[in-house]
Amino acid sequence: MDATTEPWTRSQLQERDTWNLKGLYASANDWQADCIALESQLGTYASFAGTLGTSAARLKACLEFDTQLSRTLESIYTYAHLRNDEDKTHTGHQAEYEKATQLLTRYQQACSFINPELMNIPEATMRDFLNDPELEFFKYHIEKQLRFREHTLSEKEEALLAASSEMARTPQNVFGMLDNTDLNLGQIEDAEKRTVQITHGNFQSLLQNYDRRIRRETFESVYKSYEQHQYTFTALLDGSLKKDMFYARARNYPSVREQALFTENIPVTVYDQLIETVHNNLEPLYKYFAIRKRRLKLDELHIYDCSVPLVENIKWDMNYEKAVITIGEALAPLGEDYVATVTQGLLENRWVDRYECKGKRSGAYSSGCYDSNPFILMNYMDDNINSVYTLAHEAGHSMHSHFSKSHQEYLYADYTIFVAEVASTFNEALLTRYFLNQDIGPDMKIYLLCREIDNFRGTLFRQTMFAEFERDIYTSAEAGNAMTVDSFKDIYNQLLMRYFGSEVTLDPCLALECFRIPHFYFGFYVYKYATGISAAYALAERVTKGGDADLADYLNFLQSGGSKYPIDLLKGAGVDMSSPKPVATALKKFKDLVDELETLAP
């Protein structure tokens, strides 16, 4: 599929182009049976309530029961959300997803007594428990929970907060429906006078079109759509902030940001030094915009000019099957077993839902659960090199999950978000390295250098800008300021001016971009893309230039899941993210790429 193709309906897709959910549940009836079985078991939690401090054996029994139910619920929820994302307009899938979220809420209510009881076990008794062989397997899990002692409420209060979780997802859910289903991004006329419906899937491809009229009209049409709904988007984003603030205050955190970072044991200094380090290294970014403006021979460089390739005689055309083969060759430094597993998963084993279709969720992700293979949602476009990189990126997530589940028990298999972007970005770095090592001419080298630069720009600079936006809007809201349309747009516009400098002409409508970003509904997530690319490039450098021991360290990192805190996992792989050094090193790599581009494209 390419950007000018009308999206298919789900029924038009070939089976090989869709993910195979039968390994998770053979049928919707089997899924329903698990739902019924889980519902019948929720009452068992009551038999454990009030008894966790009586003995290590009793505590172990409760944790084993909870682990088993959590594992089943994970399968139930995964199946429902994947089916719902296949077609957001399918009412049957919507009902399944609603059922899964209701079960999740009921589960959270039923088990909400566990943490308060853990916190109320006297410290001396808990020390004895933790030294008891009965609890050896659960020791790290319990110690992680005990960190939250001062942020854990009474049993009744915890039950009340758990009961509110389904309601609290409303801003996020409404944003998803509005953005993916109800929002009409408009139409444009392509160079052949054909009408093209703009979608989230082809938006970036259209912005890479060499015809500036197409780029401009696409940009204007999309932002006109967001402008027409800007007050609704404001209410949703403001509602999400208020929701996060309510939970942070209820649990005695100084701020939403500190709550988010505390969960993964990440020092706040990591967040602030990321922003500071990027601020101190913006000049190479401004230099790149100047090169782009000069190379495109433009009097004014607009945002819709910042994605089009600088070499006009190169067109990208790589179908999905060729992309998988290419990715496999690029990942050769990770070993034959890694490459065989990932290529089989992407092709024969149907991990991937490949193409855009009507009603399908936009974007891309890797998902799955402990008892399934990984699943990758794609909206693959043959004519967009970003699709190849996105596939490599999501395959990195999937292989991280595959290794983790293969080497860790369920309780410790789920790695945290802080390290989640490392394996994915690592794969992208290897893909660029592979392309640049091919026998290519200067034009193709310019093309690929720009792609690498734009990857840095989109992942390190852009996500840091998003992180700064999140920090600023939460700081403002927590200070009691009303968050209006103008409040959000003013804060975002100030950041646009800082990160784009004087070389880029900022269209006023671009301030509406803050309402397009789904990650803002998962508070303080985006900074991890920036730290992730920094760690990934450091690790890629070690693996490609090092020996077997360096590769073993990296694969051990993938296999470790959530068995340690994320900072410690990365230290074991050879990268210290508590220091600004990895971010500074990544920014130095960006500067070198820009300097090389300037030499090739003066």
The mean pLDDT value for 238-260 works out to 97
Q: In the numeric block, which tokens belong to residue 220?
A: 């204007």
Q: 195-197 and 187-189 as β-strands: parallel, antiparallel, unpaired? A: antiparallel
| Residue 357 DSSP symbol | B
* Structure confidence at residue 362 (pLDDT): 85
SS3 348: coil
What pLDDT digit, counting tens, does each position of 470-502 carry? Answer: 999 999 999 999 999 999 999 999 999 999 999
Q: Which residues pair with 579 in a beta bridge?
A: none
Distance between CA 76 and CA 100 in Å, rounded? Answer: 6
pLDDT at 2: 61
pLDDT at position 201, please? 81
Query: Do residues 18 and 354 touch, judged by C-beta distance below 8 A?
Result: yes
Beta-bridged to residue 197, according to DSSP, are 187
Q: In the prediction, which pLDDT does 375 show? A: 97
Q: Which pLDDT score is estimated for 541?
A: 87
Compute the average pLDDT of residues 13-24. 94
Mean predicted lDDT score pLDDT of the chain: 94
Percent of the chain with pLDDT over 90: 82
Using the predicted structure, report yes or no on whether residue 410 has a pLDDT greater than 70.
yes
**How do the residues of the chain divide into helix, strand and coil, expressed in percent and rounded to 5?**
70, 5, 30
pLDDT tens profile 558-581: 999 999 999 999 999 999 999 999
Distance CA 345, CA 12 (A): 22
- Residue 517 CA to its chain's centroid (Å): 12
pLDDT, mean of residues 401-414: 97
Report pLDDT for 3. 55
- Mean pLDDT for the stretch of residues 232-254: 97
Catalytic residue list: 394
Tell me, what amino acid is at 399? M
Nearest to 214 by CA among 222, 205, 223, 206: 206
Contacts of 470 (CB under 8 A, 6+ apart): 257, 520, 523, 524, 526, 527
Please tell me the least confidently modeled range out of 174-183, 390-399, 435-444, 449-458. 435-444
The predicted-structure confidence for 44-54, as pLDDT tens digits, reads as follows 999 999 999 99
Residue 4 has pLDDT above 60, yes or no: no
Give the mean pLDDT of 92-98.
95
Overall average pLDDT of the 351-380 stretch: 94
Note the pLDDT of residue 325.
Answer: 97
pLDDT at 63: 98
Query: Are the C-beta atoms of residues 415 and 400 closer than 8 Å to each other?
Result: yes
315: pLDDT strictly greater than 80: no
pLDDT at 161: 92
Q: How confident is the model at residue 434 (pLDDT cuts 50, 70, 90)?
A: very high
- Answer with the residue of higher pLDDT: 135 or 181: 135
CB within 8 Å of 273: residues ≥ 6 apart: 580, 583
Mean pLDDT calculated for residue range 80-94: 94
Q: β-pairing, 375-377 with 365-367?
A: antiparallel
Determine the angle formed by the axes of helices 56-86 and 123-130, rounding to 10 degrees. 80
pLDDT in tens, 211-232: 999 999 999 999 999 999 999 9
Q: What pLDDT band is residue 311 in, cutting at 50, 70 and 90?
A: confident
- What angle, rounded to 10 degrees, do the helices at 268-279 and 581-600 form? 20
Q: What is the pLDDT of residues 508-527, one digit of tens each?
A: 999 999 999 999 999 898 99
Structure tokens at 585: 């090193």
- Let me know the angle formed at the C-alpha of 528 by 522 and 529, rounded to the nearest 5 degrees: 100
Residue 1 has pLDDT above 70, yes or no: no
Residue 162: band (very low, low, confident or very high) from pLDDT cuts 50, 70, 90: confident
Burial (0-12, 13-18, 19+ Cβ within 10 Å), 456 = buried
What CATH number should be reported for the domain whose range is 10-168?
A: 1.20.140.70
